[in-house]
Copies of this chain bind each other. A is one copy, B any other.
Amino acid sequence: MSDLSSLEVAVSPAEKFREYLATQNQRLTPERRNIVEEVFSSHEHFDADQLVHRLSSRKDNKRVSRSSVYRCLDAMVKAGLLRKVARTNDRDVYEHDYGYPQHDHMICTKTGKMIEFENEEILAILERVASEHGFRITGHRLEVYGICAEAAKSPRRRPRKLDLI
């Protein structure tokens, strides 16, 4: 059983993807199916490179070329399966957008740890502020930066470049 067990999902990600692709006269090929299944096999944030490696380290013959991975990620975003959430190390980072509630992130600048949280109040405030500007909200990205509890405990400081004097 997958991570989806506790979520209210009408159809599997693969099925949802197939439906989207059909509207574009496109097909759920074996490669695309492998990618969707790998992506939804765990609920971690990931980037294209990590996904490529996850796919090529598999024992079965499910390796997929880097180009196809990039192309498929774009399609999955359009299909509403994934969201780009941030950019880390100059790479686009993705997360599940299907079968998973809208949420925001607290990002530890020491450890890189991401904590997800939901808050209805913020959404309500945003709606109010937007309406004051005649703005119709379709989505948002909220990233809160700081120091997580773990990092605060440790006396270790984050390594940093010393500008020689």
Interface residues of A in 84-132 (CB under 8 A from B): 87, 106, 108-109, 115, 117, 119, 121-122, 125-126, 129-130
Q: Select one of B106, B109, B165 contacting A133, CB under 8 A.
A: B106
Known A-B contacts A106-B130, A119-B129, A125-B119; A148 and B135 likewise in contact (beta carbons under 8 Å): yes
* A146 contact set on B, CB distance < 8 A: 130, 135-139
Q: Select one of B121, B125, B135 contacting A147, CB under 8 A.
A: B135
**Is there an interface contact between B149 and A139, defined as CB atoms closer than 8 Å?**
no
* A8 contact set on B, CB distance < 8 A: none
A interface residues, how many (CB within 8 angstroms): 35
Q: Select one of B125, B130, B138 contacting A122, CB under 8 A.
A: B125
* A144 contact set on B, CB distance < 8 A: 126, 130, 135, 137, 139-140
Q: Select one of B133, B140, B163 contacting A145, CB under 8 A.
A: B140
Complex A-B, nearest 9 residue pairs according to Cβ-Cβ distance, in ascending order: A134-B149, A137-B146, A140-B144, A138-B146, A139-B145, A136-B147, A142-B142, A141-B143, A136-B146
Asked if A2 CB lies within 8 Å of chain B CBs, one says: no
**Is there an interface contact between A135 and B115, defined as CB atoms closer than 8 Å?**
yes
Q: Give the complex CA separation of A106 and B135 in angstroms.
A: 8
**Is there an interface contact between B148 and A134, defined as CB atoms closer than 8 Å?**
yes
**Is there an interface contact between B119 and A133, defined as CB atoms closer than 8 Å?**
no
**Is there an interface contact between A142 and B140, defined as CB atoms closer than 8 Å?**
yes
